[in-house]
A and B are shown apart, each in its own frame.
Chain A
Amino acid sequence: MRTHPSEAFTLWGAAHEHGGVSGRFVAGAAARLPLNEMLNGSVLDGRGEELRGRSVLIATRDQFLASMALIELDGIARRIVLYPPDLPFELLPAVIEAASVDAVVADRSAMGPQVPRVQYFLPYAREIVPQQCDRSVQVATEWILLTSGTLGIPKLVVHNLASLAGAINRENPAAPNVVWSTFYDIRRYGGLQIFLRALLTGSSLVLSSASETAPAFMKRAGSLGVTHISGTPTHWRRALMSSSMHEMAPRYVRLSGEICDEAVLTQLRSTYPEAQIVHAFATTEAGVAFEVKDGRAGFPVGVLESMPGVEMRIENQTLRVRSSRTATRYLGDRAPVLKGPDGFVDTGDLIEQRDGRCYFVGRRDGLINVGGLKVHPEEVEAVINGHPEVFMSLVKTKKNPVTGAVVVADVVLRAESSSSVRDPRSIRNDILLCCRRSLSAHKIPAAINFVPELAVAESGKMLRGHV
C-alpha cells in the first residue's frame, strides 16, 4: 500500500495512509498531540536532515519523545538504535561502538563523561517546530533493539520496519475507532509492536510514563478512551492489584513477553468479562510467532502449523521459528549467530506437550525472565564473582507471584575470607552494592544465600539444574 512505489516503506509514509491522520493522536503523560503535528513537525529543532544517513542512538528518558524521534528519523537515518530506559548508562560506550553510532538524540544536556563524543549530539527541542525532513529520498532504516547479553553487554538485534510490522494487519477497517495503549515501554519489542500497530493501522495511542504510577496511568488511559491494551503478565498482575483497573474498559486485552498462567487469565476475564483476552508469543529475535485466543494458558498443538507466514517446529524440546518477522542478525564484532543455516531462530524456550496442548516450561539456557525482562545468570555471576571475598557463585531463578520469577544467588565465600570476623550481612550488602552499580534493577539478586559449596559437574562446569 505504498503511495509511491519507488519510496521505501517508512513509518512516516505509512502513518499518512488509511484515511489520513485527522482525529488521531499520540498521548504521553505530559502532552497529547494530534498525529498531524507529529508527522509534520520536528522535535529535533528542525535539524533532522542533519542526521540523514547516520547511525542515530535515541537515548531519552521519556518514551513519548522517543516515539516522535522515531517518526521523524525512520527513512532518514541509516540506523536507529533504541536505548531502553532501564539500561545503565555505563553500557552506552559499548553500544555506541558496536552500532557505529555517530549521532545521539537525548533529552538531557549532557550524557556524562564516560560517553564517547559522537559527531552529532542533539538535545531535544523544548517544543515541536513545524518543519519536516525532505522525504523525496528515503531509505530502509535499520532498527536496532537491545536485549540482555550473557556477559553484561547487551545484544544488538537488527530489524527493519518491514520485519517489525510483519504481524500487523494494516487493513483493519475497525482501526479508526481503536485507541491502543501498552504498559510496555516502546523501546522494548513488545511495546514497539503496539506503537507500530497504532501508527500503521490508523489508530491513536496512549503511552505510559516512567513518572506515573500504574493507577494514574490506567485512569488516564480510561479517560482517553483506550480500547486495546497490552502488557506482560507481570504488568497485568500489578494492574490487578489496583481498583483503578475499573477506570478502563478495554475491548481487547493482550499479554506477551512472559509465560502466561491460568491465574492471570482468569482474573482478567473476571475483571473485563466483555473483553477479548489474547496472549501472544513473540521474542525480539524471532518476532511475533502466534496468538492464543481461547483464553487458556499454553497453546493448542495445531497452532504450530496454522499461522500464515510463520513456520514453527519443536526440536530438542525448544520452539524454532522462521518467518519474515524474524530479526536479520546481531550487530557487532564476535556477535553470536541469530538464526541457523535453514533460517530458523531457536527461541530457547522449552515446550512440554500435554493432552494436545503445548506449554512453555522454561529456558534451555537458564535465561531468567523477570517481568518480561531477560537475565543471563552468567552476567550476574560475573559481577558477584568480582567481589574480593567471593570464591564462586550460582545465579538461578526463583518463582515469584509478582514478576513470575526473580533472580537469587548462591555464593561461596573464599576460605581465607575474613568473613569469620565479618558480619555476613555486611558482605551481602557489599555484594548487592556491586550489583547495583553495574546491573539493571531486575538483574540484582532478590536474595543472596551463602553456601559452603556448589555442585560442579565432571566437565568442570557448574550444575545449573536445567537442561
Chain B
Amino acid sequence: MPANVRAEIEAEFQRVADEHQKRLAPLTDDLELLGTGLDSLCFAVVVVRLEETLGVDPFNSSENSHFPSTFGEFVRFYENASL
C-alpha cells in the first residue's frame, strides 16, 4: 500500500487528464469533482487505475453508497478503504 494515498490520487487525476486532453483544476479539498475538468469516463478510468496502484476498489464493497462529491471526500473514501 503506497504511503501517500492523496499523492497517488492526485497523480492519477493528472495522468488521466493528460491522456484525455482535459485541463485539470487545482485540486483542493472542497473542489467539486465535476469542477475538476474530468468527465464521467475520466472518473471511470481513475477508479480502475487506482485499483491497480492502491490495490483497493472502495466502490466494490459499498454498492449503494453515494459517489463522493468533492475531491476531499474522494481522497477520504480511498484513505478509509486503505486502512
Binding site for B on A (CB under 8 A): 213-215, 234-235, 237-238, 240-244, 262-263, 266-267, 370-371, 398-403, 406, 408, 432, 436, 441-442, 446-447
B64 touches A213 (CB 8 A): no
Q: List 11 A-B contacts (CB under 8 A).
A: A238-B40, A240-B67, A266-B64, A370-B41, A370-B44, A400-B47, A402-B40, A403-B40, A432-B19, A442-B41, A446-B49
Across the interface, do B64 and A400 meet the contact criterion of CB distance under 8 Å? no
Is A371 a contact of B41 with CB atoms below 8 Å?
yes
Shortest distance between the CB of A96 and any CB in chain B (Å): 26
Which A-chain residue is minimally distant from B74 (CB atoms)?
A: A241
Q: Which residues on B sit within 8 Å (CB–CB) of A238?
A: 34, 39-40, 43
B44 CB contact (under 8 Å) in A266, A402, A436: A402
Specify which of A235, A263, A447 is in contact with B48 (CB 8 Å cutoff): A447
User: Please, which residues of chain A bring their CB within 8 A of the CB of B60?
Assistant: 399
A218 CB → nearest B CB, Å: 9
A402 and B43 form a contact (CB under 8 A): yes
Give the distance to chain A from B25, nearest Cβ to Cβ, in Å: 10
Query: B35: CB under 8 A from chain A?
Result: yes
Within 24-53 of B, Cβ neighbours of A (below 8 Å) are at: 32-35, 39-41, 43-45, 47-49, 52
A16 to B59, CA, bound (A): 49
Quick one: given A371-B41, A401-B59, are A408 and B48 in contact (CB under 8 Å)? yes
Q: A235-B40, A399-B60 are in contact. List 10 more A-B contacts (CB 8 A).
A: A213-B35, A241-B34, A241-B67, A242-B69, A267-B66, A370-B41, A400-B44, A402-B44, A408-B48, A442-B41
Chain B contacts of A371 at CB under 8 A? 40-41, 44
Question: Do B32 and A406 have beta carbons less than 8 Å apart?
Answer: no
Give CA–CA (A441, B44) in the complex, Å. Answer: 12
Cross-chain pair count, CB within 8 angstroms: 72
Beta-carbon contact of A242 and B32 below 8 Å:
yes
- Inside 8 A of B41's CB, which chain A residues have their CB? 370-371, 402-403, 441-442
Taking CB as reference atom, which chain B residue is nearest A399?
B60
Which residues of B lie under 8 Å from residue A406 when comparing CB positions? Answer: 44-45, 48
**B contact face: mostly helix, strand, loop, or mixed:** helix
Which residue in A235, A240, A400 is a CB contact (below 8 Å) of B66? A240
A263–B32 alpha-carbon span in the complex (Å): 21
Closest A residue, CB atoms, query B58: A401
Q: Is the CB of B32 within 8 A of A215?
A: yes
* A408→B48 CA distance, assembly (Å): 9
Give the nearest-CB partner of A408 in chain B: B48
Selected contact of A263 from candidates B19, B35, B49, B63, CB within 8 Å: B63
Question: Cβ of A243 and Cβ of B69 under 8 Å apart?
Answer: yes
For the complex, what is the distance from the CA of A70 to the CA of B33, rounded to whole Å?
35
The CA of A441 and the CA of B39, in the complex, are separated in Å by 11
Distance of A266 Cα from B66 Cα, bound (Å) = 10
Q: Which residues of B contact A263 (CB under 8 A)?
A: 63-64
Chain B residues contacting A403 (CB-CB under 8 Å) are 40-41, 44
Interface residues of B in 51-78 (CB under 8 A from A): 52, 59-60, 63-64, 66-69
Asked whether, in the complex, the Cβ of B34 is within 8 Å of the Cβ of A215, the reply is yes
Residues in A with CB closer than 8 Å to B33 are: 241-242
Contacts of A241 in B (CB 8 A): 32-34, 67-69
* Assembled-state Cα–Cα distance A215/B60 (Å): 26
Bound Cα distance from A401 to B45, whole angstroms: 10
A residues less than 8 Å from B49 (CB atoms):
446-447
Q: 6 shortest A-B CB distances, which residue pairs?
A: A401-B59, A446-B48, A403-B44, A402-B44, A446-B45, A402-B43
User: Which of B34, B40, B43, B67 has the most chain A CB atoms closer than 10 A to its own CB?
Assistant: B40
Most buried by A among B20, B49, B67, B68: B67
